[in-house]
Amino acid sequence: MIKKLILLFAVTCPLSIFNLNAQITYGLQVQNFGRNGGGGGQIDSITAITNSNAQLLEYMPQGAGFFFEYQLKSRFPLTIRSELNYRGGRPSGLQLFVFNNVTGRISQSSYSEVRQSYNFEVPIDLNYAVFKKGLRLLNNSVEFEAGLFAGISFQFQSKADDVAYQKQPSNSSGVVDVNSAISNSTRTTNYFYNYGLRLRLWNFILIYRIDQLINNSAVNNLAIWGNNYPFKVTYEYQSISLGYRINFNRK
């Protein structure tokens, strides 16, 4: 999986050889993430859905990453931007509400977490600068730029070694079985389309991005009791990133 990440991110770097006069920038950034969505599935008499607020448990909200920008030399103010972001720490992931339709008793319910021990994200975007102006700030001349971007994102994640859910004494064996099956439904790769806003003041870059799922579901179908039950969960991410760039100009 790590090899896939390195290969995918490396695909954008050779762009620097296409134009010897291009402006290339690299930098580091910190990020804050959130997500929401909904979905679930019917497994015989057991129902698994996102919790009552139609929310999915957030990943570790903070992340860190590296970005690469390649400013195209053309009549249009276009920039290709790629990132490699990492979220880790305490395991977290998908949270579902599981209950038995036959009894309908709230005591038959439990939360199930499809846990990930780490998550890598690789967005690749095309940015168009819609506004650029020189400013005076603290007696220094700085440049302010605002732009819009769109692209695709790849998400790579691992399942944590441990599986945790709030098992209650009154849980039926069916609820317990479904919880165990949910823990094996993690997809290691998901695909998103994204769009957002890019603001730059001097060498500081602020990114607001929305990622929406492209593939049909963020998890696999549930394999349980010798059957394969449809299990569909969709969600979107929102993220805010603050980074600092370093310029590399080739002449």
Burial-class residue 224 by CB neighbours within 10 Å (0-12, 13-18, 19+).
buried
Residues 95, 51 contacting (CB under 8 angstroms): yes
Spatial separation of the C-alpha atoms in residues 72 and 23, rounded to whole Å: 8
Domain 2-249 CATH assignment equals 2.40.160.20:
yes
Q: Give the DSSP per-residue string, 76-103.
A: S-EEEEEEEEEE-SS-EEEEEEEEETTT
Distance CA 207, CA 119 (A): 19
Q: pLDDT band at residue 196, thresholds of 50, 70 and 90?
A: very high
The contacts of residue 99 (CB under 8 Å, 6+ apart) are: 46, 47, 106, 108, 109, 110, 175
pLDDT tens digit sequence for 104-152: 544 344 555 555 567 788 999 999 999 999 888 788 888 999 999 999 9
pTM: 0.77
Return the bridge partners of 68, or none.
26, 82
